[in-house]
Chains A and B, each alone.
Chain A
Amino acid sequence: MTLYILCLFLFCVGLYGVLRKRNIVKIIVGFAIMGYAMNLFFVMFGYKFHGRSPIGDISQNISNMVDPLPQELVHTSIVIGLGLTALLIAIAIKIYEKCGTFDITKIKRLKG
Chain B
Amino acid sequence: MNNSAIATLFVIIPLCTAFLISLMAKLVKRGFIYTLSILSAGLLLFSSFYALNILSKTAGNLLVYKIGGWGPPFGICLVLDGLSVFMLIIVNLAAFFISIYNVGYTDKDDDAPKFLTLFFMMVTGLNGVVITGDLFNMFVFLEVASIASYALVCYREGAEELEAAFKYAIMGSVGSAFIFIGIAFLYGFTSTLNMADMSRVLAAKQGIFVVPFVSVLFIMGFGLKAALAPFHAWLPDAHTSAPASISAMFSGVLIKTLGIYALARILFTIIGTTQALLSALMALGAISILAAGVLSVSQWNMKRLFAYSSIEQVGLIALGLGLATPLGILGAIFHIFQHSVAKSLLFLTAGSVDNSAHTRDLREMSGLKEKMPVTAAGSLAASMSLSGIPPLGGFFSKLIIILACIEKGCYFYALAAVAGSVLTLTAMAKVQRFAFFGELKGKFKNIKESPFAMQVSIVCLTGICVFGGLLLLPQLRPFVSNAADVLLQGVKYSGLVLEAAAK
The verdict on B181 contacting chain A, using a C-beta distance below 8 Å, is: yes
Q: How far is the CB of B178 from chain A (nearest CB, A)?
A: 9
Check B177 against A84 for contact (C-beta < 8 Å). Answer: no
Q: B81 on the interface (CB 8 Å rule)? A: no
- Interface flag for B208 (CB, 8 Å): no
Give every chain A residue within 8 A of B170 (Cβ-Cβ): 18, 27, 31, 88
Closest partner residue, chain A, to B299 (CB atom): A112
Q: B residues 66-83 with Cβ under 8 Å of A?
A: none
- 0/1 per residue, A63-86, Cβ < 8 Å to B? 000010110010011001001100
CA distance A107 to B237 in the complex (A): 13
Cβ < 8 Å to A, chain B residues 385-419: none
Q: Which of chain B's residues have a CB closer than 8 A to the CB of A83? A: 147
Q: Are A98 and B162 in contact (CB under 8 A)?
A: yes
Residues of chain A contacted by B191 (CB below 8 angstroms): 67
Cα-based distance from A91 to B193 in the complex (angstroms) = 34
Is the pair A24, B166 in contact by a Cβ cutoff of 8 Å?
yes
Contacting pair A91 B299 (CB below 8 A):
no
Is A110 touching B240 in the complex (CB atoms < 8 A)? Answer: yes
A95 CB contacts on chain B under 8 angstroms: 159, 162-163, 166
The CA-CA distance from A107 to B163 in the complex, in Å, is 7
Is A18 touching B174 in the complex (CB atoms < 8 A)?
yes
Residues of B within 8 A of A73 (CB): 136, 187, 193
Question: Are A76 and B177 closer than 8 Å at their CB atoms?
Answer: no
Residues of B near A98 (CB, < 8 A) are 158-159, 162
B138 to chain A, nearest CB (A): 12
Q: Which residue from chain A places its CB closest to the CB of B301 in the assembled complex? A: A112
Is B169 an interface position by the 8 A CB rule? yes
A94 to B163, CA, bound (A): 10
Residue in B closest to A83 when the chains form the complex, CB atoms: B147
Cβ–Cβ < 8 Å partners of B184 in chain A: 38, 41-42, 45, 70
Confirm or deny: B157 has a beta carbon within 8 angstroms of a beta carbon on chain A: yes
Q: Are A92 and B166 in contact (CB under 8 A)?
A: yes
- B224 within 8 Å of A (CB atoms): no
Q: Classify chain B's interface size.
A: 35 or more
CB contact between A109 and one of B140, B163, B166, B187 (< 8 Å): that residue: B163
Determine whether B130 belongs to the interface, using a CB cutoff of 8 Å to chain A.
no
* B154: interface (CB < 8 Å): yes
Most buried by A among B170, B236, B301, B304: B170
Q: How far is the CB of B189 from chain A (nearest CB, A)?
A: 9
Contact string against A for B residues 156-191, beta-carbon threshold 8 Å, 1 for contact and 0 otherwise: 011110111111011001100100110010011001
Interface pair A112/B304, CB less than 8 Å apart? yes
Binary contact track A2-42/B, C-beta < 8 Å → 1, others 0: 00000000000001001000001001000100110010011
Query: Interface centre among B162, B165, B299, by most A CB within 10 Å?
Result: B162
| A residues in contact with B177, CB < 8 Å | 34-35, 38
| B449 surroundings in chain A (CB, below 8 A) | none
B307 to chain A, nearest CB (A): 10
A99 in contact (CB, < 8 A): yes
In contact, A94 and B151 (Cβ under 8 angstroms)? no
Choose one: A41, A84, A99, A110; the contact of B169 (CB below 8 Å).
Answer: A84
Judge if A87 is at the interface, Cβ distance under 8 Å: yes
Q: Which of A34, A69, A91, A112 contacts B166 (CB 8 A)?
A: A91
Which of A34, A38, A76, A91 gathers the greatest number of chain B CB atoms within 10 Å? A91
Q: Is residue B150 contacting chain A, with contact meaning CB distance below 8 A?
A: yes
Q: For B159, B181, B236, which residue has the most chain A Cβ atoms within 10 angstroms?
A: B159
Residue of B whose beta carbon sits closest to that of A110: B237
Q: Is the CB of A112 within 8 A of B236?
A: yes
Q: Decide if B143 touches A107 in the complex (CB within 8 Å).
A: no
CB distance from A105 to the nearest CB of B (A): 12
In the bound complex, residues from chain A placing their C-beta under 8 Å from that of B150 are 84, 87, 91
- For residue A110, which residues in chain B have a CB less than 8 angstroms away from its CB? 160, 163-164, 167, 236-237, 240-241
Q: Closest CB of chain B to A36's CB: distance in Å?
A: 11
Cβ contact within 8 Å between A88 and B147: no
Task: Indicate whether A94 sits within 8 Å of B301 (C-beta atoms), given known contacts A18-B174, A84-B147.
Answer: no
Bound complex: CA A67 to CA B188 (Å): 11
Question: Contact at B187–A91, with CB atoms within 8 Å?
Answer: no
Complex alpha-carbon distance, A36 and B157, angstroms: 30
* Centre residue among A67, A87, A110 by max chain B CB count within 10 A: A110
Known: A87-B151, A88-B166. A80 touches B159 (CB 8 A): no
A91: contacting residue among B162, B173, B236, CB under 8 A: B162
Among B167, B180, B191, residue most surrounded by chain A Cβ atoms (within 10 Å): B180
Nearest CB of A to B231, in Å: 14
- Asked whether B140 lies within 8 Å of A80 as measured between CB atoms, the reply is yes
**How does the 8 Å CB contact mask read for A33-62 relative to B, with 1 for contact and 0 for none?**
011001001100100000000000000000
Residues of A within 8 A of B157 (CB): 94
Residue with the greatest number of chain A CB neighbours at <10 A, chosen from B151, B166, B301: B166
Interface pairs (26), CB distance under 8 Å: A24-B166, A31-B170, A31-B173, A34-B177, A38-B181, A42-B180, A45-B188, A67-B191, A69-B187, A77-B180, A80-B147, A87-B151, A88-B166, A88-B170, A91-B154, A92-B166, A94-B157, A95-B163, A98-B158, A107-B163, A108-B163, A110-B237, A112-B236, A112-B295, A112-B301, A112-B304
Given contacts A27-B170, A41-B181, 10 further A-B contacts (CB under 8 A): A31-B170, A34-B174, A38-B177, A42-B184, A45-B188, A87-B147, A88-B169, A91-B166, A110-B236, A112-B304
Q: Residues of B at under 8 Å CB distance from A? A: 136, 140, 143, 147, 150-151, 154, 157-160, 162-167, 169-170, 173-174, 177, 180-181, 184, 187-188, 191, 193, 236-237, 240-241, 295, 299, 301, 304
